[in-house]
Structures are given as C-alpha cells and as structure tokens.
Amino acid sequence: MPGRRIEFGFEYDNNDARLHAGALTVTSTVAFRFAGASFKDVQEAVAERVARGYKIGMRIRNGQQVERLAFRAANGFIELREDTTVSADLLSTFGAYPGEQWVGLVPEAATPRASTVSGDTITYEDVLVLRGFDAGPQLIPVVHTYSNVPFKEHYIVGVRLLSTRERHVGIRIDANY
C-alpha cells in the first residue's frame, strides 16, 4: 500500500450508556475505515499496526477518571491501563484547556480481536467506564498512535460523544499510506 492515497477514518457508535453512582459505562462499536483499499490491503494495514503496538489518549475533564477502557478479544477483553509517560507526552504535544487533562492508555496484553471485517471497514467492540461523569453530553477527543512513536510525530484523531441519550458521532480523516 505504500504511496497509495487511502482515506482513513474512524467512528464510535454507542450501543448502550448507563449512568450509575457518578460513573458512565458505555459499550460501543469502534469502526476503522480504509476507503479505497481492498480487503487484502485492510488486512495488511491492520497486521502492521498490530505488530507495532498502539497507545491511546483521551482528553477528559479534571476530576474525571477513566476507570476502564477495554476491547473485546478472543477470550474476554483486552484491558488498557493508564500510563503516566504517555499522559505526559499527550500534554506536551497537545496541551490542555483549563479544567481538562490528558489520560494516556496502553494495552496490558495482546491485540483486540476484530468483531467484523467487511470490505474496507474493521470494527471492534469496547467498554469505557468514566468516573465523574455528570448528565452530559460530553465530547472527548481521542488520539491513537503506535506504541513506539511520540504523538508529535504521528497520530490519528477521533471524538467520542458521551451521553445517556445520543448514540452516534463520526469523524473522517485523510491520510497517505
């Protein structure tokens, strides 16, 4: 795929959102789209990303805490844990508005298993538990990159809309691969 222009984007679809005792639990489907790519190209791109590893950043409000972010795997879930080095990289790269903070997350184990692969799209199921959530809605910027690359050198960006009422928000990004 090198040298080919492929539109890449991802979006979140909230399947269920429940607020209990100040924590919002959201189950969602995360879809990564490689428009203009063949099924084989998608498989190769995903295999490359899996081999390189990944890390995720979320910009949340001060006083909030990501209690859980997990992706469905073959035998349960891949749990992500907070990593202060990744959080510091995010803050130095993107800064934060007053009242907000970056939380860096890394997987504790292997790669999530795709829920479905269809044409140029691959989807994963995830669970997010955010402590300190009020009635919402709340937009949360999310950035992804490889585990061994600083965010200032590479990232893809998305946004999550957290609400007990709204179900869908999407963003598309152009990138060259």
pLDDT at 5 (0 to 100): 45
Question: Topology of 5-161 in CATH?
Answer: Immunoglobulin-like (2.60.40)
pLDDT above 60 for 1: no
Domain ranges for the chain, please list them. 5-161
Residue type, 79: E
Give me the chain's average pLDDT, please: 81
DSSP 8-state assignment for residue 98:
T
Q: Which of 109 and 132 is assigned the larger pLDDT? A: 132
Q: What is the pTM of this model?
A: 0.83
Q: Are 32 and 71 in contact (CB under 8 A)?
A: no
DSSP 41: H
